[in-house]
Amino acid sequence: MFDEAQYFAPVATRDDGSVVVELAKTHPGFADEVYRKRRNAIAALALGYQPGAPIPHAEYTDEEHRVWALVTKELAVKHGKYAVREFLDAARRLGLPKDRIPQLQEVSDLLQPLTGFRYVPAAGLVPLREFYSVLADGLFHATQYIRHHSVPFYTPEPDVIHEVIGHANTLASPRFAELYRLAGRAARRVETGEALEFVSKVFWFTLEFGVMRESGELKAYGAGILSSYGEIEEFRGMDIRPLDLAAMGTTSYDITKYQEVLFEAASLDHLEDLIGTFWDTCDDDMIARLRSSR
Ligand SMILES: [Fe+2]
């Protein structure tokens, strides 16, 4: 079952028009009224967003900027050890601020000249079809809030650290950006829900949690691993399998835990040949055959 909905805090609009993010009791920010107010305000910005308009400015506290600075510094050390070369080169070209949370508009302005990608603010979960299909147009939906400052290295949901440190640095690579676009075209092409889920699972096991062999070492290129302070230290010990479309498109995963099964590309060329070609050419029939081959 594809259960991404459990991952995002639900966002509700009340009768009076106010927007409320329903944090679970276990969320680190649950008892922090000030944080919750900010979460509501940031969600309201995304809900009121008009496509094509500048992305509204989100307010952050000094404590939150410090969370960004701390995580950026610590992850940079880990990236040097565990990230693929293509990611490191792209991150250098993008040049994200290290000392404060960048606004999504700013991230878009840095990214667009490099690969044409732009950000779109998301209040929470974006429906699968919409999230993936607009990748074909170079649009990436991202949440704008940041994790609770009491636990800088933990978040139960994708926050701006994941969306920007994980995804924007990857989207700054023309080769990875093209793979995102191809996934988007595939999502737009397929018709059945099963085929769309298959396409999104292949995305999950590659652009979110993919690993790759580089100069004999296992490195990460997936945004989920590269934005997770804990997971980046653990991925080499997981159950590493070779890239296999049918397996990736049908293997279930638990979004709330470290990913135990990971798929390894032999190289970036290999990833482009197998996964890029799949997204470029797949249709409902091809995916039905792959699903029934398991
Ligand atoms: Fe992601």
Are 244 and 191 contacting, i.e. CB atoms less than 8 angstroms apart? no
Write the DSSP assignment of 228-287 as a string of letters.
-TTHHHHGGGSEEEE--HHHHHH----TTS--SEEEEESSHHHHIIIIIHHHHH--HHHH
Are 253 and 194 contacting, i.e. CB atoms less than 8 angstroms apart? no
Question: Which residue is listed with tokens 């991202």?
Answer: 142
255 or 86, higher pLDDT:
86
Q: What is the pLDDT of residues 73-132, one digit of tens each?
A: 999 999 999 999 999 999 999 999 999 999 999 999 999 999 999 999 999 989 999 999
Question: Residue range 244-270: average pLDDT?
Answer: 92
Q: How far apart are CA 207 and CA 181, in angstroms?
A: 11
Backbone phi, psi, residue 141, to 5°: -75, 130
Q: How far apart are CA 130 and CA 137, in angstroms?
A: 11
Task: Quote the pLDDT of residue 1.
Answer: 29
Q: Does 208 qualify as catalytic in the annotation?
A: yes
Annotated catalytic residue within 163, 208, 214, 231: 208
**Backbone φ/ψ region at 290: left (φ over 0), alpha (ψ -120 to 50), beta:** alpha
Q: Does 167 qualify as catalytic in the annotation?
A: yes
Average pLDDT, the chain: 95
Q: Does 27 qualify as catalytic in the annotation?
A: no
Is the model's pLDDT at 173 over the cut of 60? yes
Ligand 1 mean position, distance from CA 224 (Å): 6
Q: Which amino acid is at 57?
A: H
Q: Does 65 qualify as catalytic in the annotation?
A: no
Task: Quote the pLDDT of residue 6.
Answer: 55
Question: Which residue is listed with tokens 């949440």?
Answer: 143
Question: Which residue is listed with tokens 């080769």?
Answer: 175
**pLDDT confidence of 213, banded at 50, 70, 90?**
very high
Identify the three-state secondary structure at position 201: helix
Is the model's pLDDT at 253 over the cut of 90? no
Is the model's pLDDT at 31 over the cut of 90? yes
**pLDDT confidence of 133, banded at 50, 70, 90?**
very high
What percent of the chain stands above pLDDT 90? 91
Task: Quote the pLDDT of residue 294.
Answer: 85
Is the model's pLDDT at 4 over the cut of 60? no
Are 250 and 198 contacting, i.e. CB atoms less than 8 angstroms apart? yes
Q: How far apart are CA 112 and CA 110, in angstroms?
A: 6
Ligand 1 mean position, distance from CA 16 (Å): 32
Q: Which amino acid is at 102?
A: P
Ligand 1 mean position, distance from CA 167 (Å): 7
